C-alpha cells in the first residue's frame, strides 16, 4: 500500500458549497493548501482530523483507511494518529505547558513521570527549556506555537497537520518563526500538510502547493509553477507576486545578478523583496523618470488571462509583470522582444528573511 496521505475529500459545508479536494502527500514532504478565507480550508482540517465525517471520497494514511463513507468506515479522531497544530494553537488553558505537551502521552496511558520527562525533552528540543510550569496565557505567540508543535509531535503522529500556524503572530515574529518552523518540519519524517492563506508561507515551507478556491483545488504545483504560471486570475492575484532574495544595505537589495533600489533604507542583511506584477512597467525604449529601477531585458513569455496579460521577463532578473492587452498591442510586444522594465523603489516590499 501507499505510504503517506492519500485523500479525496468530499464534504458539504453547512452554509454553501461542497468541498471536493484530492490530496496526496508523501512522507518527508510538505504540501500546502493555499486559499482565501471561506475557501473551505477549515473543512479540510476537520475531515482529516476526524472532527467531521466525509460525505464521499476517502482518506487513507500509510495505507490504512480512516474515513470511507462507501464502506461505512469511520475512524474516530483519537485513533487516527494525526497530529494537529490548530489555528491559534488551542492550548489547554487550565494545564501547564508541560501538561499540555504530555497530554497525548497521558491519553495513551503513559505513566505520569515518563510523560513529564518526555515532555521536558520536547520542550528543550524546541528551545522552551524551563517553561514547563508556565500556563499557556503566559507565553508569547511564538512560544505558544512551539508548544503546540511539541504537543502534536510528542504523540508520534503519522501525519502532521498545521492549520495557519503563523497567522496568530505579528509580522516580525512571523518571519522569524517561519524559518524555525521550516527546521522543525524537517525533523518530522511523516507527511506534512500546511493549511494557509499566506502565499509566502506556502511557497517557502511547502514542496508542493495546492491552491484552493471555493471548495476545489484549482492548481497544484511547486512554488515556481504557481508563481510563474498561475492558472486562474485569483491565483495570479494572490500568488503572482515576485519574490527576490538578496542582501540589503543602504536602500539597495543586491541579488546575485542585479541590484534593486528599495524604499526601505534602514533594513540590512538577508531579505526577501516582493514586487507585485502590477507594479512593474514595461517600456519599448529606455524610460526617463522617477523610478529608480530600470533595466533592459527580453520578453520570455506572454500569457493572456481574460482582460490581463502576464509577461515574463528574462535576465538579469526574471520577473512577472502584469499589463493590459491594449498595452501589449500598443507596444507591439511579442515573445523575444527587447523591452525596458521600470519599478519604483517604493513599490518593492522588503522583509527580513
Partner 1 sequence: MTDRAAEVRRKASRPPALVMVLALAGLAVFVVPLLGLLARTPWQDLPQLLTEDVVADALRLSLIASLGATAISTVIGVPLALVLARVDFPGRPIVRGLVLLPLVIPPVVGGAALLFALGRRGVIGAPLYEATGLVLPFSTWGVIIATTFVAMPFLVITVEGALRNLDPRFEGAAASLGAGRWTVLRRVTLPMIAPSLAAGLLLTWARALGEFGATITFAGNLQGRTQTLPLAVFVALESDRDTAVALSLIMVAISLTVLVVLRERWWRSG
Interface residues toward partner 1, by CB under 8 A: 46, 49-51, 76-80, 82-84, 86, 90, 92-95, 103-104, 106-108, 151-152, 155
C-beta of 190 vs 246, nearer to partner 1: 190
Question: Whole-number minimum distance, CB 201 to partner 1, in Å?
Answer: 21
C-beta of 103 vs 122, nearer to partner 1: 103
Question: Whole-number minimum distance, CB 312 to partner 1, in Å?
Answer: 43
C-beta of 118 vs 276, nearer to partner 1: 118
Whole-number Å distance between alpha carbons of 167 and 73: 34
| Cα atoms in the 13 Å half-sphere on the side-chain side of 235 | 27
Whole-number Å distance between alpha carbons of 321 and 304: 12
Question: Whole-number minimum distance, CB 241 to partner 1, in Å?
Answer: 32
H-helix segments, the chain: 41-49, 97-107, 112-125, 141-153, 171-186, 199-205, 223-228, 233-239, 325-330
C-beta of 184 vs 310, nearer to partner 1: 184
Give DSSP secondary structure letters for 11-36.
Answer: EE-SSSPEEEEEEEE-TT-EEEEE--
C-beta of 47 vs 248, nearer to partner 1: 47
Whole-number Å distance between alpha carbons of 185 and 337: 43
C-beta of 64 vs 285, nearer to partner 1: 64
Whole-number Å distance between alpha carbons of 333 and 169: 44
C-beta of 77 vs 251, nearer to partner 1: 77
C-beta of 78 vs 335, nearer to partner 1: 78
Question: Whole-number minimum distance, CB 111 to partner 1, in Å?
Answer: 15
Question: Whole-number minimum distance, CB 207 to partner 1, in Å?
Answer: 24
For the record, the C-alpha cell of 310 comes out as 502576464
Other beta carbons within 10 angstroms of residue 79's beta carbon come to 9
Question: Whole-number minimum distance, CB 42 to partner 1, in Å?
Answer: 10
Compute the CA torsion angle 99, 105, 111, 116 (nearest 10 deg).
-40
Question: Whole-number minimum distance, CB 76 to partner 1, in Å?
Answer: 7
Contact 43, 10 (CB under 8 A): no
Q: Residue 340's closest CA among 290, 292, 297?
A: 297
Other beta carbons within 10 angstroms of residue 260's beta carbon come to 22
Q: Residue 195's closest CA among 167, 221, 236?
A: 167
Question: Whole-number minimum distance, CB 84 to partner 1, in Å?
Answer: 5
Amino acid at each position: 500500500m501507499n505510504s503517506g496521505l492519500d485523500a479525496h475529500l468530499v464534504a458539504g459545508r453547512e452554509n454553501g458549497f461542497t468541498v471536493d479536494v484530492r490530496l496526496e502527500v508523501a512522507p518527508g514532504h510538505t504540501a500546502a493548501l493555499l486559499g482565501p478565507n471561506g475557501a473551505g480550508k477549515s473543512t479540510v482540517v476537520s475531515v482529516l482530523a476526524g472532527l467531521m465525517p466525509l460525505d464521499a471520497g476517502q482518506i487513507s494514511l500509510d495505507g490504512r483507511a480512516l474515513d470511507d463513507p462507501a464502506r461505512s468506515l469511520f475512524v474516530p479522531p483519537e485513533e487516527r494518529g494525526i497530529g494537529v497544530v490548530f489555528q491559534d494553537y488551542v492550548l489547554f488553558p487550565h494545564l501547564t505547558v508541560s501538561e499540555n505537551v504530555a497530554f497525548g502521552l497521558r491519553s495513551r496511558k503513559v505513566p505520569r513521570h515518563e510523560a513529564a520527562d518526555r515532555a521536558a525533552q520536547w520542550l528543550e528540543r524546541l528551545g522552551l527549556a524551563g517553561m514547563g510550569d508556565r500556563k499557556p496565557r503566559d507565553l508569547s505567540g511564538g512560544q505558544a506555537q512551539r508548544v503546540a508543535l511539541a504537543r502534536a509531535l510528542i504523540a508520534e503522529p503519522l501525519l502532521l497537520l498545521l492549520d495557519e500556524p503563523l497567522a496568530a503572530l505579528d509580522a516580525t515574529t512571523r518571519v522569524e518563526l517561519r524559518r524555525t518552523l521550516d527546521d522543525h518540519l524537517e525533523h518530522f519524517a511523516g507527511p506534512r500538510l500546511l493549511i494557509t492563506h499566506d502565499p509566502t508561507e506556502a511557497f517557502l515551507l511547502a514542496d508542493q502547493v495546492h491552491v484552493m478556491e471555493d471548495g476545489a483545488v484549482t492548481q497544484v504545483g511547486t512554488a515556481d509553477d504557481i508563481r510563474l504560471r498561475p492558472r486562474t486570475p485569483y491565483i495570479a492575484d494572490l500568488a503572482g507576486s515576485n519574490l527576490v532574495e538578496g542582501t540589503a544595505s543602504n536602500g539597495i537589495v543586491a541579488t546575485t545578478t542585479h541590484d534593486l533600489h528599495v524604499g526601505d533604507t534602514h533594513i540590512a542583511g538577508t531579505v526577501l523583496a516582493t514586487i507585485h506584477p502590477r507594479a512593474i512597467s514595461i517600456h519599448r525604449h529606455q524610460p526617463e523618470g522617477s523610478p529608480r529601477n530600470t533595466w533592459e531585458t527580453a520578453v520570455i513569455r506572454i500569457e493572456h488571462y481574460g482582460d490581463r496579460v502576464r509577461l515574463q521577463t528574462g535576465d538579469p532578473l526574471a520577473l512577472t509583470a502584469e499589463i493590459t492587452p491594449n498595452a501589449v498591442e500598443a507596444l507591439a510586444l511579442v515573445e523575444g522582444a527587447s523591452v525596458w522594465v521600470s519599478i519604483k523603489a517604493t513599490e518593492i516590499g522588503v522583509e527580513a528573511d
